[in-house]
Structure 1
Amino acid sequence: MKLRLAIFAAALCTLTSLPALAQSPVTDRPIRVVIVGLVHGHVKGFLNALPKNPAAQLVGIVEPNTALAHQYATQYHLPAALFSTDLERTLTTQHPDAVLVYTTIQDHRRVIEAAARHNISSMVEKPLTTTMEDALAIRRAAREHHVHVLVNYETTWYTSNAEAIREAQADHLGTIRRVVVHDGHEGPKEIGVGPEWLPWLTDPVQNGAGALFDFGCYGADLMTVLMHGKAPLSVTAVTQTDKPQIYPHVDDEATIIIRYPGAQAVLMPSWNWPFARKDMEVYGATGYLITVGPNGLRSRYHGEKEESQKNAPPLASEQSNSLAYLAAVLHGKINPQGDLSSLDTNMIVMQILDAARTSAQTGRTVELKPLPQ
């Protein structure tokens, strides 16, 4: 009798575990994504990475410029049936899990709101948008329709930045006192940005600003996470245009000072660097870390007489690239709150960028007020 009960219990245990096993392939299935816009050149990185990335399946591309769409179809050997000029129709017929937004920055709000009405999440290229009005509208749409809105930064997937954040948050550097972030390159025209991209990237309405927004967002994002999502007390910024013959309408040089209780950050976004760079210096009361490219670190801790160098450990697979991360969030494996890509973090980033733009225009320090909830 005891033996029969034991066998029955084992069989019951096996049967009750079968639904979970059956569901696991569904949980791990590739997410269905639609690209919206081809005017942001970062889309090329996605299209190059997609064939080797099992996390996502491309089910549609929306681009109203049919000549540009044809150019991409030819270059990446994409079937014509994948392309559309109608966003609403594509969302209705393809039922994607998420849209990947490669429009102008000004257009982010329009696309996010349209996707949210269909209960579809969005991942946009940095920064979140161009104004605080649009940022608040995006947050309302995300809350009302219970969708994710994520922001993709190249530097989020740098192991060096991840390790610097880990060490800072583990208190290996002591209390953070100062952070200095250098971001930028020689200039968009100088590096050969395409004709579909350069006009809006150098337009203060469609891009929000010049180098100030284009590269200031990276440091604001990193600093917000280092400060555990707290908004700063004030923002002071100075901008100038050193190459007015190339960039007559926007800044190409900026310095942003962000003040917190007991800490400061200095961001140096520029289209005037002699070469491309994205690096960060984090100084604490008992040590410092300096990132060197995507993977390297220089450090010195309390009691050490010399600086040392090392490579950062690899990221977990689900946090190693934007598509894997997006899939993990949509599958419920990662809660993005407080991450570099999260909406809550990027609302603070937008506060900083908006205040920096106002400070540069007025010549005054801008005191930040809490965001309306």
Structure 2
Amino acid sequence: MNTMMVPTCGVPGLLLMLLTLFFNHVSARERLQVAVAGLSHDHVNTLLNAYQQEAVEILGIAESDQALVVHYQERYKLDDVLFFKTVDDMLQTIRPDIVLAYNAISEHVDAAEVCLPLGIPLMVEKPLAATNEHARRIAELATKYRTQVFTNYETTWYGSNQTLKRMVDGGEVGKLKKIMVKDGHQGPREIGCSEAFLSWLTDPEKNGGGALIDFGCYGANLMTWLMNGERPIAVTAVTRQLKPALYPMVDDDATIILEYRGGTTGIIQASWDWPYSIKDLTVYGEKTSLHAVDANTLVLHSSPKEQVDIPLVKGYFDGHLSYLQAVLQGDVNDHMDLSSLANNLIVVEILHAARESAKRGERILLH
């Protein structure tokens, strides 16, 4: 059988150009189209790197600090047309798939006040809100306008954590007895966070606290997920200022204990005083324990001396952009997953109780 081939050189140049433009347009539209609220959070660099690699489209950036605008324009070669003074101004001009907030935690509610009534979903960097009042207002807006709100954590995309969760749900460790999470680093100043980021990260009003908020939220998020949305019955916390000269207004070290019905205990160690960066999760069950050492390492311990490296499951999302694209298209049910509003309302409640416990020196009951 003869197969007729059409040589490329036989296609007129104009047709080739039109086909190229068409496929480039289709490819671009398949990428997530986002807008940015604020540039003061250093995590925005992850998004801007993805933009440079054409993994996402940025339709607009709202930032009132002109020095920050100039900094990021020069670093990432961003066009003037992308920039707006406020989120409100920006959303009068463009209509993104979602707004990504990279601003102070206390300002998340302000972004929600603008985005959600327009039916535009919102993703904030962890945690969801600085206070219970802000979190409840965001939830009220999300419900009223039937619009999704997500919270982004680096640890959501760890294959080790996703594999650990599947094994726990599959009964491979037995009943959960204890969950331990260690999160933090040497300190935000010590690791070179930008001054724009530090200006609110070390402010008790704008961030909601210090290490307790910055890194305690990871543990609260993971524990709420592992406990399938169950709220703890009590929270006890101790905070310290180990480096008051560097962080005079906020705690830089926190230990939080969560008590659950049925006897499960959660222990969160959040600090800006580790000797190195750490994001580590361990669960202890009736049968064995699992230790997610880092993003790519999961170890099963059947005894202190016996351990097995567990192969990681494939198929979960590699980051927030691929996740958002899937969930906004209706391909993923986000109920009570790590990014969900339901999970993160409980996270803020835990953090609020932890602050109160540390302040009052008391065990706080959650009603």
- 1:86 CA displacement: 2.7
**Equivalent position of 1:168 in the other structure:** 168
**Equivalent position of 2:251 in the other structure:** 251
**Equivalent position of 2:35 in the other structure:** 34
Contact conserved, 1:181 with 1:266, CA < 8 A, in 2? yes
Distance across 2 between alignment mates of 1:174 and 1:50 = 44
The CA deviation string for residues 304-332 of structure 1, in whole angstroms up to 9 with x for no partner, is: 9721123423343xx22101111111111
Contact conserved, 1:159 with 1:315, CA < 8 A, in 2? no
Contact conserved, 1:233 with 1:367, CA < 8 A, in 2? yes
**Equivalent position of 2:363 in the other structure:** 365
**Equivalent position of 1:8 in the other structure:** none
Distance across 2 between alignment mates of 1:152 and 1:169 = 23
The CA deviation string for residues 59-105 of structure 1, in whole angstroms up to 9 with x for no partner, is: 00110011210110110011111111132121121111210000100
Contact conserved, 2:162 with 2:313, CA < 8 A, in 1? no
Contact conserved, 2:241 with 2:250, CA < 8 A, in 1? yes
Distance across 1 between alignment mates of 2:305 and 2:67 = 60
Matched, 1:219 2:219: yes
Distance across 2 between alignment mates of 1:173 and 1:83 = 51
The aligned runs of 1:101-140 (5 Å cut-off) are 101-140=101-140
Distance across 1 between alignment mates of 2:33 and 2:283 = 38
**Equivalent position of 1:268 in the other structure:** 269
Matched, 1:45 2:43: no
Distance across 2 between alignment mates of 1:109 and 1:309 = 42
Contact conserved, 1:173 with 1:301, CA < 8 A, in 2? no
Distance across 1 between alignment mates of 2:99 and 2:115 = 7
Matched, 1:330 2:331: no
**Equivalent position of 1:207 in the other structure:** 207
Distance across 2 between alignment mates of 1:315 and 1:355 = 36
Distance across 2 between alignment mates of 1:143 and 1:53 = 33
**Equivalent position of 2:10 in the other structure:** none
- Alignment partner of 1:356 out of 341, 347, 354: 354
Distance 1:102 1:305, change over 3 A: closer
Contact conserved, 1:252 with 1:271, CA < 8 A, in 2? yes
Task: Give ranges in structure 1 of 5+ residues lacking alignment.
Answer: 1-24
Contact conserved, 1:295 with 1:311, CA < 8 A, in 2? no
**Equivalent position of 1:288 in the other structure:** 289
Task: Give ranges in structure 2 of 5+ residues lacking alignment.
Answer: 1-25
The CA deviation string for residues 237-269 of structure 1, in whole angstroms up to 9 with x for no partner, is: 000101000111100010000000210010000
Distance across 1 between alignment mates of 2:95 and 2:47 = 20
Distance across 2 between alignment mates of 1:323 and 1:121 = 13
SS at match of 2:196: coil
- 1:30 CA displacement: 2.5
Contact conserved, 1:33 with 1:96, CA < 8 A, in 2? yes
Letter in 1 for 2:181: V
**Equivalent position of 2:279 in the other structure:** 278
SS at match of 2:96: coil
TM-score w.r.t. structure 1 length?
0.88
SS at match of 2:47: helix
Distance across 1 between alignment mates of 2:245 and 2:315 = 43
Contact conserved, 2:52 with 2:76, CA < 8 A, in 1? no
The aligned runs of 1:59-98 (5 Å cut-off) are 59-98=59-98
Letter in 1 for 2:30: R
Distance across 2 between alignment mates of 1:305 and 1:44 = 42
Distance across 2 between alignment mates of 1:332 and 1:220 = 27
SS at match of 2:178: strand
Letter in 1 for 2:318: S
- 1:52 CA displacement: 3.5
- 1:29 CA displacement: 2.7
Matched, 1:185 2:185: yes
The CA deviation string for residues 104-132 of structure 1, in whole angstroms up to 9 with x for no partner, is: 00000000121011110000000001100
The CA deviation string for residues 260-289 of structure 1, in whole angstroms up to 9 with x for no partner, is: 021001000000000000001110111110
SS at match of 1:290: strand
Distance across 2 between alignment mates of 1:102 and 1:192 = 18
Distance across 2 between alignment mates of 1:260 and 1:273 = 28
- 1:53 CA displacement: 5.7
Name the Cα RMSD after superposition. Answer: 1.6
**Equivalent position of 2:13 in the other structure:** none
**Equivalent position of 1:307 in the other structure:** 307
- 1:31 CA displacement: 2.7
SS at match of 1:360: helix
Letter in 2 for 1:267: I
Contact conserved, 1:99 with 1:123, CA < 8 A, in 2? yes
- 1:188 CA displacement: 0.5
Aligned residues: 340
The CA deviation string for residues 187-212 of structure 1, in whole angstroms up to 9 with x for no partner, is: 01111111111121001000000000
SS at match of 2:164: helix
Letter in 1 for 2:320: S
Distance across 2 between alignment mates of 1:131 and 1:202 = 16
